[in-house]
Amino acid sequence: MDVDQIATTAAAPAVHDFMERRRTILARLDELRHDEGAAVLDGGKYDRKPIDRLRAELESLDAAEGEASRREQAARAGAAAALRAEQRSQMLAFEQQRLDAIDVAERAAHDLCRALEEARFCAGAIHKLGVTLDLPRAMPMLDHDNRISRRLSHVLKPLMGVGWRYGAIEFHSPLPHEMGPWRDAEAALMAPYLPPKSEDMPNGN
């Protein structure tokens, strides 16, 4: 295809290869200007229509390049706006999820406090009854809160990372035997200090 046809052919590329098209047109314009100059020097006439068409093509190319740039910027702005909208939506969803988790944590904290208060009360009662019954002193009851707090620190360890702190609360690392199931470990620890279940039990007669 002759370069002069670029400006007039309906099949002009829609692909935005502006640099290559501009290079081709400018090269052809240089050739035509040389032809025009030679014609003037030789005293002949020269048809400027091909030059005008190519210059019009350059203007159209500039306009197309500007429009392509505008569309690209609009597309980027639209994509950025869509991303920001999605991120805002995610932020609100995470906040709702956080508040739901805090609700669960608050209820669990109150339940934990009540359960540990009950466990502490029972520990004190066991110690007093052991003294009254002249049983071996229930030593585990004297370390009850410390031991349970270390068991709790083992459960909460995933929240603490490298150290033994969760926010402003500092914990202590549990002893090796304090890392298993609480009930089983506590029962085994207290077993030697408790009276036999059959001792002094009424026979129901």
- Return the closest-CA partner of residue 51 out of 2, 8, 4, 9: 4
Query: What local confidence, expressed as pLDDT, does residue 157 receive?
Result: 92
Sort residue 44 into left (φ over 0), alpha (ψ -120 to 50) or beta: beta
- Whether this model's pTM surpasses 0.75: no
Query: What local confidence, expressed as pLDDT, does residue 199 receive?
Result: 56
- Planar angle of CA 74, 76, 79, nearest 5 degrees: 110
Handedness of CA 95, 96, 99, 101 (dihedral sign): negative
Strands 169-170 and 165-166: antiparallel
Cβ(25)–Cβ(57) below 8 Å: yes
Q: What is the C-alpha separation between 155 and 49, in angstroms, rounded? A: 87
- Planar angle of CA 171, 175, 178, nearest 5 degrees: 95
In sequence order, the β-bridge partners of residue 169 are 166
Which residues are within 8 A (CB) of 33 and not within 5 positions of it... i.e. 6 or more apart?
51
Residue 180's Cβ-side half-sphere holds a number of Cα atoms within 13 Å equal to 9
Q: Encode the chain (205 residues) as per-residue pLDDT tens digits.
A: 344 444 434 334 444 587 888 888 888 888 777 776 777 776 777 667 787 788 888 888 888 888 888 888 999 999 999 999 999 999 999 999 999 999 999 999 999 999 999 999 999 999 999 989 988 888 888 899 999 999 999 999 999 978 899 999 999 999 988 888 999 999 999 999 999 876 555 554 4
Query: What local confidence, expressed as pLDDT, does residue 166 receive?
Result: 92
CA max distance for the chain? 145
Query: What local confidence, expressed as pLDDT, does residue 138 receive?
Result: 83
Query: What local confidence, expressed as pLDDT, does residue 15 receive?
Result: 44
Q: What is the C-alpha separation between 190 and 185, in angstroms, rounded? A: 9
Query: What local confidence, expressed as pLDDT, does residue 14 receive?
Result: 45
Query: What local confidence, expressed as pLDDT, does residue 142 receive?
Result: 87
Q: Which two tokens stand for residue 200?
A: 């002094």
